[in-house]
Amino acid sequence: MKFTSLFILSFLSLSAIAQHGYWQQRAEYTMDIDFNAENNQYSGNQELTYFNNSPDTLVAVYFHLYPNAFQPGSMMDVRSRSIEDPDSRVGSRIAALTPEEQGFIKVNSLEMNGNSLDYEVSGTILEVMLDKPILPGKKVKFEMDFLGQVPVQIRRSGRDNKEGVAYSMSQWYPKMAEYDRYGWHADPYISREFHGVWGDFNVNISIDSAYTLGGTGVLQNPKEVGHGYAQPGDKMKLPDGAKFLWKFKAENVHDFVWAADKNYIHDVAKADNGLTIHFLYKDEPDIYENWQKLQEYSVKLFNFASATFGQYPWSHYSIIQGGDGGMEYPMATLITGQRSLGSLVGVTVHEVMHSWYQGALATNEGYYPWMDEGFTEFAGSKVMSHLFNPDEDTRRGRFYDSYLNLVNSGKEEPMATRGDYFKTNYAYGAAAYGKGGVFVGQLGYIVGDDVLMRSLKRYFNTWKFKHPDPYDFIRIVEGESGMQLDWYISYMLSTTEKIDYAIKRVEARNNETIIALERVEQMPMPIDLNITYRDGYEEVINIPMTIMRGEKNAEDDTKFTVKDDWQWTNKTYSFSIARSIGEIEKIEIDPSQRMADVDRSNNTLILNPDTQTIISN
């Protein structure tokens, strides 16, 4: 029903529909953490001011206790041992953890507005029944004391990763689950992915003074910790004890990550608009040179991405060696660091682009993993071309092959499948990264690349610091293009229907030529078609569909001859051109190859100049 009403709203002006009726919850965290590096445990006090901005009365709340996933028999453990293609980083490692190697968060006390609450721990979720409900428009204060233990590094977070980074602290604190227009998202931590409440974090970490820390937010007391955060000439006020207290503050984020190692080098670079980029990496000779070179690439990356996709909206970003590959967090990333320069820049580009598609445009990654991974793949492919191959045609990214391989594998599941519910890790990855990238790139084919790029900027500026869903994005593209695109969302998300168009027939009629096309597979698309004449002239034809209620007229200064609409119920479509068949050398459907046509062998015809018969396709 919600979708139907959005569709009706499309007849109103765009300004009238943007975020109509939208609301979101808010969380303000203050956490005091005392970290014991001897036994890898940390005791924490969390004060959370929670704003119920919803129109609903809340009778329960839920917190994520992610570290509990790293215990034998957890849902993550069982899932990893039963899925047909387990993540090699997890496999059966959780089942083998000793008590000292496991992760946990134990809740010692929990109060709301000073009154203690009943709660129950169910795996990675803390279920809290409220004795007084939280009314719409009201805020409450939760206070929790907890004890955490850092597991050995298995997936994303943990201690002593394979490159020897001491602490990769992601998903490490009791985190309020998000309640939004679709309800509660108290999803157990099985493998992927995340969704969080927008708000502010004050995180104070007391830890052995030998550790250098990096993380989300801005360090508030650089003179009291040093480690590369103070300015040259600052009068330092380092404490005498064995521990330093690190005070981080992050505003307008939905998560907080940090990492610590005794052997980090900490470098700083500046990019446009006052952005400070921190680099924290192990002081090891074999990676030093690449991490030095990474810094100039990172500055270029932020400057280009801000100009192309919308201004990066925070003052700091930290690129930190840690974790088990690459993982995005607000204002920071954890990446493994023992890589070739190309791989190091590549993973950095991907994770940094998540600052747009996850950090600021915080779609629910559990519901719509393709909205962060696919958009990031699309944007990352543009950035990589800018950095390494500026003359390349960037309209068709490399992710198309990943999607086409998925189709051929027979393992495809609808892209709308929730991240954790895909049958295989392969189908999840190829849908989220591959088909998700195609979703964006192929929109450029439908509406024109310049309209798409304008739409992406408008999407960012309209929806940053919120939780957009697929229809919020497509409504922006509809506004920019003047087309209706609900059919596109429906086919791409909810089905595994494929695209295949063919040139069926070319024949002479008097002095004209009739060209007949066929839709071979189910999913309908508008058609770009190029005709190359023997005199060297190239005509670009565009065939819109009735259900689009519009068409693209030009793209990158190329003018089209727009033909009559193709009604999708017709499998075939013919049109005539006012030149004889003998003048035609070649006809090709979608030479840009941005339409994800699963069989391109029937897209091209080359005509024999003497016999006027088709000689190849």
Contacting positions for Zn ion (CB under 5 A): 373
What tokens were used for 463? 């929806």
Rg (CA), the chain: 27
Residue 15, helix vs strand vs coil: helix
Measured from the CB atom, is 107 or 438 closer to Zn ion? 438
Closest residue to Zn ion using C-beta atoms: 373
Measured from the CB atom, is 89 or 600 closer to Zn ion? 89
Measured from the CB atom, is 373 or 449 closer to Zn ion? 373
Q: How far is the CB of 318 from Zn ion (least distance, A)?
A: 17
Q: Please count the CA atoms within 13 angstroms of the CA of 255 that sit on its side-chain side.
A: 26
| Residue whose C-alpha is closest to residue 469's, from 17, 5, 124, 19 | 19
Q: How far is the CB of 43 from Zn ion (least distance, A)?
A: 33
Instruction: Tell me how far apart the alpha carbons of residues 51 and 116 are, in angstroms, rounded to a whole number.
Output: 19
Measured from the CB atom, is 148 or 369 closer to Zn ion? 369
Instruction: Tell me how far apart the alpha carbons of residues 366 and 64 are, in angstroms, rounded to a whole number.
Output: 14
Q: How far is the CB of 328 from Zn ion (least distance, A)?
A: 6
Measured from the CB atom, is 180 or 373 closer to Zn ion? 373
Q: How far is the CB of 354 from Zn ion (least distance, A)?
A: 6
Measured from the CB atom, is 357 or 560 closer to Zn ion? 357
Q: How far is the CB of 93 from Zn ion (least distance, A)?
A: 22
Contact 278, 317 (CB under 8 A): yes
Q: How far is the CB of 257 from Zn ion (least distance, A)?
A: 15
Burial, 399: exposed, middle or buried (Cβ in 10 Å; 0-12, 13-18, 19+)?
A: buried
Q: How far is the CB of 327 from Zn ion (least distance, A)?
A: 8
| Residue whose C-alpha is closest to residue 94's, from 173, 160, 155 | 155
What tokens were used for 75? 């849902």
Return the amino acid letter for 140: V
Instruction: Tell me how far apart the alpha carbons of residues 12 and 130 are, in angstroms, rounded to a whole number.
Output: 42
Measured from the CB atom, is 370 or 573 closer to Zn ion? 370
Measured from the CB atom, is 373 or 472 closer to Zn ion? 373
Instruction: Tell me how far apart the alpha carbons of residues 161 and 560 are, in angstroms, rounded to a whole number.
Output: 55
What tokens were used for 77? 């453990």
Q: How far is the CB of 561 from Zn ion (least distance, A)?
A: 40
Measured from the CB atom, is 432 or 577 closer to Zn ion? 432
Residue 558, helix vs strand vs coil: strand
Who contacts 98 (Cβ-Cβ below 8 Å, separation ≥6)?
none
Residue 543, helix vs strand vs coil: strand
Instruction: Tell me how far apart the alpha carbons of residues 255 and 334 are, in angstroms, rounded to a whole number.
Output: 14
Q: How far is the CB of 187 from Zn ion (least distance, A)?
A: 18
